[in-house]
C-alpha cells in the first residue's frame, strides 16, 4: 500500500492524527471520542519523520493537524509532500 500522504513510497508506519501521548489528556478526552483518537493514516517513514520534525509540538499536531487535509495544508509539510511527489514522478519519454 502506498503512503497516504506522498503516494510514492510503501507505507510502513501508522500516524495517529492525535498523538498517543495525548489520549489521556483531559482537553482531548473532552473533545474527541476514543474512536476519534484511534484515527490515522498509513504513511512512509520519510513522511512520518517530516510530520514530527516540521510539527514538533504534539498538542499543536493533535489540535490543528488532526486530518489528512489539515496535514497537507500545513505550509512546510505540504511543500515537502509536493517536492517528494515531483521528485519521484516518472519522466515522460521524449
Q: Where do the domains of the chain lie?
A: 13-87
Mean pLDDT of the chain: 94
Confidence of residue 15 (pLDDT cuts 50, 70, 90): very high
Question: Do 71 and 52 meet the contact criterion of CB atoms below 8 Å apart?
Answer: no
**For 2, what's the count of Cα atoms within 13 Å in the CB-facing half-sphere?**
7
Confidence of residue 22 (pLDDT cuts 50, 70, 90): very high
Question: Do 13 and 44 meet the contact criterion of CB atoms below 8 Å apart?
Answer: yes
pLDDT of residue 90: 65
Confidence of residue 92 (pLDDT cuts 50, 70, 90): low
Amino acid at each position: 500500500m502506498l503512503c497516504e500522504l506522498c503516494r510514492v513510497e510503501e507505507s510502513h508506519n501508522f500516524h495517529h492524527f492525535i498523538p498517543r501521548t495525548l489520549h489521556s489528556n483531559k482537553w482531548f478526552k473532552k473533545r474527541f471520542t476514543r474512536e476519534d483518537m484511534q484515527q490515522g493514516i498509513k504513511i512512509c517513514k520519510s513522511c512520518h519523520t517530516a510530520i514530527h520534525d516540521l510539527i514538533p509540538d504534539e498538542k499543536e499536531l493533535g489540535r490543528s493537524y488532526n486530518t489528512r487535509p489539515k496535514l497537507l495544508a500545513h505550509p512546510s509539510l505540504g511543500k515537502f509532500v509536493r517536492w517528494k511527489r515531483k521528485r519521484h514522478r516518472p519522466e515522460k519519454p521524449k
